[in-house]
Amino acid sequence: MENPRQEDAAESPEAAIDTNDTHDKARGPRLREIPLRLMVPNTITVLAICAGLSGIRLAFENRFELAVAMVLFAAFLDGIDGRVARLLKATSSFGVQMDSLADIINFGVAPALVLYVFMLDQARSVGWIAALIYAIAVGLRLARFNVMAERPVKAAWQSEYFVGVPAPAGAMLVLLPVYIGLLGLAPGRIFALIASVYTVLIAFLLVSRLPVWSGKSENRVRRDLVLPAILVVVLYVATLMTYTWETMAVTAVAYLISLPFGARSWQRKYGDWPAGQGGDGLPGDSD
């Protein structure tokens, strides 16, 4: 009588090869197997993380101007990595996940810590709670965005509006007290308490259902407006380089002022903002 174990042993080499091949594929591709064009956008994302973390270090060293500049530079890098990926046709699931993790650091943790070291620490526990609330709000905002992006059904307004203030804009807004402080206003305890309330307000705007104009729908500029648009961009960049903190403060205030107008524009186009239709994966969603 033939031994079953001998039969299994005879078949084991091929089975072992298949098993090893499956195990190897489950671990993902080797570095040498990844095309260079796929590595470029991910490298930009890593550089953005380095810039955000460097901003935190500079804040602890009381080099606040460089700290804010590094956070803003991280936001710039984060804004171009996706475009570079689409330009090179190098989008991937790995890149999407990497970008989300970078966003939490660059738009959540880094601005919160820079603001806390610069000013909120003078409000003691109140300032730290405000910084925590903001960082958590950024995480919730990004999770909602990822959930909405994965849904197969898209509403017409999603190409024109965000649900709540986007994380990059939130980082720019929450640093407004730092811009004002760098302009010469001494950060005292009263100012720190006001900044704490302001930080919580920005956190609320991030996770709110407020329709915020995204600017993505206008892909073309009329010919007669091309030259004026270029001049406006040049003027803005020139003032940003010359009067950095004044320009950033005006930009943040102008963005806040524009929010009610964006919501009003949405209401005129699509009617009232329906309850439970924010698409954020929170209780009240239609799913």
Q: Domain boundaries in the chain?
A: 35-268
- Going by pLDDT thresholds of 50, 70 and 90, the confidence category of residue 252 is very high
The Cα–Cα gap between 53 and 47 comes to: 10
**Between 67 and 211, the higher pLDDT residue:** 67
- % of the chain residues with pLDDT over 90: 34
**Between 35 and 64, the higher pLDDT residue:** 64
**Which tens digits make up the pLDDT trace of 164-218?**
898 889 999 999 999 999 998 877 889 999 999 999 999 999 998 888 887 665 5
222 alpha carbon, distance to own chain's centre:
30
Architecture of domain 35-268: Up-down Bundle (1.20)
For 141, 253, 275, the CA distances from 272, given in Å and listed in that order, are: 22, 26, 9
- Going by pLDDT thresholds of 50, 70 and 90, the confidence category of residue 77 is confident
